[in-house]
Each structure stands twice: as C-alpha cells, then as structure tokens.
C-alpha cells in the first residue's frame, strides 16, 4: 500500500512538472511575440531556443507519464482521460513552438500600426494557455477549481477570436499585395489557433471532471 | 514462436494479411522518395509513373485495410487488442494517403523549385521515407518480437528530429531567398507536406508505444 501511494505521488509530481513546463512555455511564447515586434528577430530566436528546450523536456515527461499510467496500473479508472488530456496539452505546447519558429523562419513584415494588436493577441493566447494549465492542475488536485479555470480559458479564447478578426479586417482593408496580406493573416491565425487548442483541452477536462463526479 | 506466424499465435491468416499490408507501406515510402527525386531532376515521365503506381498501391492498401478489419473482428486471440491494432493500422493508412496526396500535389501544382534547393528537398524526401520504413519495422516488431519495438520507435523519433531540422533549414533558405513572397509560400508549403510524413510516422509510433505497454507489460 505504501509503495502504491509512493508511486502515485511520483506520478503526480511528474504531471505537475509537465504542467510547469507548459506554463513556462506560455510565458516564453508571450515574450517571443512581443520581442519580435519590439526588438527584432534576434531576440525572438532566443525565446525560440528556450521554448524548443522546454518542448523536448515536455515530450520526455509526457512519454514517462504515459508509461507509468499503463505499467503501474495507477488511476486505472481514468487513465484514458488523463492520457487524452496530456496528449492534447502537448499539442498546445507544440503549436507555441511552431508559431515562434514560423516567425523566425518566415520573418513576416507586419505593418507598424498592427504591432500592438499582434502583441495583445500573443498575450491573450498566453493567458488562455496559463488558465488551461491551472484547470489541468485543479483536475488532479481539487476538482472544484476546474470549472472556474475553464471559464477563464473560454473567455480568453473568445477575446482572441475577436482580436484576430479585427486584425484580419484591418489587413484586408489595406492596399498591400494579396500575398503580403495572406502572410500577415496567417500569423494571426497561427496565434489564435493556440487558444482554440487550449479550449479543446478544456472540453476534454470538463468531460473528464464530470466522469470523476459520477 | 512459430516462424511462419510470428507472434500471431494460430491466426496465420491475419499475420499474412498484416505483413502484406505493411509491405505495401514500405513500398509506398520508397516510391515517394523516388517520385520526389524524379520530380527534382525534371524526369516527368518517371515521376508520373511512380505517382501512378503509388496511387494504385494506396487503393490496394485501402482494400487490404478493410479485409484486416474483418479478420480482426472474427479473430478470437486478438480480441482484447483489436481496438489498438485497428487504431495502429488506420493511422498507418494516413501515412500512405499522405505520401500519395503529396506527390499528387507536386503533379497538380508543379512547384518551380530553384536548383539550389534541390538537395534540401531530396534530403527531406529521403528522411521522411526512411522514417516510414522504421515505423513499419516497429509495427512488425509489435507482432513478432515486442522487445524490439522500443528500439525501432527510438530510431523513428531520432529520424523525425532530423527531418524537422532539415525542414527548418530548407524553409530558412526558402524565406531567405530573393524570390517573390507567393513563390516562397509555395515552396514552404511543399517542404511542410514532405516533413509532415515523418510526423505522421511518429504519431503511429506514439500509439504503438502505448499499445505495446498495454499488451506486454502486464
């Protein structure tokens, strides 16, 4: 029994570490976007290097958690849900890294008046991810906190939608070449897509939480 | 272990069908990298021929998939694992579909790839095809010698990492190149489509890792 509890505690610690990693990723993502507009691509590259390291670490932790879930028959009744939550969270982390990498590789030339809007979009998306992480922590520690955090994620996702819509309208009203408009639009879509994914994780969390109450 | 049926117990027929299906995936991977090579070398006839063979192979793989689904349904020995096996096979089908679609897009959109980027595209095609080959080796090991699964999966992960790096290098060259922005998009898109094949192979391996743990660690 003692051994079982120890193993369960180790698994909880791993999940916690995994969520810490994603939360740090969200912070770096936010800095990366604002650095791109304020200081240029070189500063963004530093953030990209940092988030790539975290993404690799998150992958290792995820695989470790998945192995523990199946080999040590811990929380067997909800391991499918936990697995789904961890994997969809990993997708969010991947998207944050991919988006910074796209900025670094493609170096989009974004009109100056749109810089603050893109920076805001990055901040809002990062907040959505941070709240998603909080919702995930609540699922493992205190189920009563899940709902409030999910509501925050939904709020930030809607905010990101509205802001991205505004950005796209401004882009397509301009007199730029079509390919330049598409390039700028794509980056708004990439950033906004991360908050959509955070909401998807929360949809899974909501169902998993209801199942735990049954 | 029966050498004829591998680890499939008495389900010899199922074993043969799975092996035949995986053979098609490996051949698909080789056709894919050959197709890209011929496209880059401007050998249109040979490229078209490889695309045609790959399309036929993909159809055949679909038929084989349906047959496997039926066999799995009636196979009593694999009953406990049939959900996992089905998931693995269906995800593998995405890989061959992805390769066929990518070559088809090359044929339809005819991207103008500057010669200086040929090496980068060829390297990417070869890496993705190799990832598919190793993915198949890992899948075969799941049925034949599960102790080897982990090693094969690790090789796929390593290769996927190399593919991502090669794709990033190629995209940086594309976007640093003095060509029109729409041309950069077009080239970047094709680099991404090729890179995606290795990602699909990794997804299959992620599922495979869990399926292996579930089946063999209890």
pLDDT by position in tens, chain B (length 218):
444 444 554 455 788 889 999 999 999 999 999 999 999 999 999 999 999 999 999 999 999 998 888 888 888 777 788 888 999 999 999 999 999 999 999 999 999 999 999 999 999 999 999 999 999 999 999 988 888 999 999 999 999 999 999 999 999 999 999 999 999 999 999 999 999 999 999 999 999 998 998 888 76
Question: E strands of A4-141, at which residues?
Answer: none
The CA distance from B51 to the nearest CA of chain A, in Å, is 30
Q: Tell me, what's the pLDDT at A161?
A: 95
Contact with chain B for residue A180, Cβ under 8 A? yes
Q: Does the beta-carbon distance from A183 to B217 stay under 8 Å?
A: no
- Residues A46 and A41: their CA atoms lie apart, in Å, by 9
Find, in chain A, the residue whose alpha carbon is nearest to that of B177.
Answer: A106
The per-residue pLDDT of chain A, averaged, comes to 93
The CA distance from B182 to the nearest CA of chain A, in Å, is 6
Q: Does the beta-carbon distance from B210 to A179 stay under 8 Å?
A: no
Q: Does the beta-carbon distance from A179 to B217 stay under 8 Å?
A: no
Q: Tell me, what's the pLDDT at B166?
A: 97
- Residues A125 and A177: their CA atoms lie apart, in Å, by 28
Q: How confident is the model at residue A80 (pLDDT cuts 50, 70, 90)?
A: confident
Do the Cβ atoms of A157 and A128 come closer than 8 Å? Answer: yes
Q: Tell me, what's the pLDDT at A141?
A: 87
The CA distance from B157 to the nearest CA of chain A, in Å, is 11
All residues of chain A having their beta carbon less than 8 Å from the beta carbon of residue B215 are none
A123 or B216: which carries more pLDDT confidence?
A123
**What does the pLDDT look like over A8-51, one tens digit per residue?**
788 889 999 999 999 999 999 999 999 999 999 999 999 999 99
DSSP string, A163-206: HHHHHHHHHHHS-S-HHHHHHHHHHHHHHHHHHHHHHHHHHHHH
Among the listed residues B134, B125, B132, B135, the one whose alpha carbon sits nearest the alpha carbon of residue B195: B125
Average pLDDT of A103-109?
96
Q: Tell me, what's the pLDDT at B8?
A: 53
Q: What percent of chain A has pLDDT over 70?
A: 98
Residue in A70, A101, A179 nearest the CB of B185: A179
Write out the residues of chain B at the interface with chain A, using a CB-CB cutoff of 8 A.
168, 171-172, 175, 180-182, 184-185, 188, 206, 209-210, 213-214, 217
Do the Cβ atoms of A134 and A145 come closer than 8 Å? Answer: yes
Residue in B168, B171, B182 nearest the CB of A179: B182
Q: Tell me, what's the pLDDT at B80?
A: 81
All residues of chain A having their beta carbon less than 8 Å from the beta carbon of residue B210 are 66, 70, 83
Contact with chain B for residue A179, Cβ under 8 A? yes
Residue in A70, A87, A183 nearest the CB of B181: A183
Token digits of residue A18: 């995994």
- Residues A46 and A28: their CA atoms lie apart, in Å, by 10
Q: Does the beta-carbon distance from A105 to B168 stay under 8 Å?
A: yes
From the candidates A41, A68, A73, A179, which should be mutated to test the interface with B, based on the most B CB atoms within 10 A?
A: A179
- Residues B188 and B182: their CA atoms lie apart, in Å, by 10
Longest dimension (CA), chain B: 62
Do the Cβ atoms of B209 and A63 come closer than 8 Å? Answer: yes
Q: Tell me, what's the pLDDT at A56?
A: 93
Provide ipTM, 2 decimals.
0.82
From the candidates B154, B164, B183, B206, which should be mutated to test the interface with A, based on the most A CB atoms within 10 A?
A: B206
Residue in A71, A87, A106 nearest the CB of B213: A71
A113: DSSP letter: G
Do the Cβ atoms of A106 and B175 come closer than 8 Å? Answer: yes
Q: Tell me, what's the pLDDT at B171?
A: 97
What contacts 24+ positions apart, CB below 8 Å, involve B14-20?
Answer: B14/B68, B14/B71, B14/B72, B14/B75, B14/B78, B15/B143, B17/B64, B17/B67, B17/B68, B17/B71, B18/B68, B18/B89, B18/B143, B19/B140, B20/B64
Q: Tell me, what's the pLDDT at B1?
A: 43
Q: Does the beta-carbon distance from A105 to B172 stay under 8 Å?
A: yes
Average pLDDT of A119-140?
96
Q: Tell me, what's the pLDDT at B218?
A: 60
End-to-end Cα spacing for chain A: 25
């Amino acid at each position: 029994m003692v051994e079982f509890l120890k193993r369960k505690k180790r698994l909880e610690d791993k999940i916690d570490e995994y969520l810490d990693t994603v939360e740090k990723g969200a912070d770096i993502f936010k800095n990366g976007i604002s650095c791109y507009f304020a200081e240029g691509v070189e500063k963004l590259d530093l953030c990209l290097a940092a988030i790539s390291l975290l993404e690799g670490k998150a992958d290792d932790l995820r695989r470790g958690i998945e192995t523990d879930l199946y080999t040590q028959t811990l929380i067997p009744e909800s391991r499918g849900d936990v697995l789904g939550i961890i994997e969809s969270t990993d997708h969010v982390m991947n998207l944050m890294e991919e988006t910074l990498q796209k900025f670094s590789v493609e170096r989009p030339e974004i009109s100056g008046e749109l810089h603050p809007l893109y920076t805001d979009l990055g901040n809002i998306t990062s907040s959505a991810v941070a709240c998603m992480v909080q919702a995930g922590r609540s699922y493992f520690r205190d189920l009563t906190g899940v709902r409030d955090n999910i509501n925050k994620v939904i709020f930030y996702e809607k905010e990101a939608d509205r802001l991205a819509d505004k950005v796209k309208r401004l882009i397509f009203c301009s007199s730029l070449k079509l390919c330049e408009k598409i390039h700028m639009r794509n980056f708004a879509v990439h950033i906004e897509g991360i908050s959509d994914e955070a909401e998807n994780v929360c949809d899974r969390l909501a169902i998993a939480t209801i199942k735990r109450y049954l | 272990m029966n050498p004829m049926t591998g680890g499939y117990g008495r389900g010899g027929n199922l074993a043969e069908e799975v092996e035949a299906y995986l053979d098609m995936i490996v051949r698909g991977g080789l056709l894919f990298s050959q197709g890209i090579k011929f496209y880059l070398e401007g050998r249109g006839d040979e490229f078209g021929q490889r695309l045609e063979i790959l399309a036929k192979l993909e159809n055949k793989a679909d038929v084989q998939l349906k047959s496997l689904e039926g066999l799995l349904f009636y196979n009593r020995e694999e009953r406990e694992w049939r959900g996992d096996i089905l998931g693995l096979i269906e995800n593998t089908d995405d890989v061959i579909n992805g390769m066929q679609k990518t070559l088809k897009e090359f044929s339809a959109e005819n991207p103008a790839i500057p010669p200086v980027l040929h090496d980068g595209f060829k390297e990417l095609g070869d890496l993705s095809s190799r990832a598919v080959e190793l993915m198949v080796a890992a899948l075969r090991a799941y049925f034949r010698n599960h102790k080897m699964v982990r090693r094969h999966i690790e090789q796929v992960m390593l290769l996927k990492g190399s593919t991502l790096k090669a794709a990033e290098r190629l995209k940086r060259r594309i976007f640093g190149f003095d060509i029109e922005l729409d041309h950069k998009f077009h080239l970047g898109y094709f680099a991404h489509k090729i890179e995606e094949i290795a990602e699909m192979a990794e997804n299959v391996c992620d599922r495979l890792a869990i399926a292996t743990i579930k089946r063999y660690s209890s």
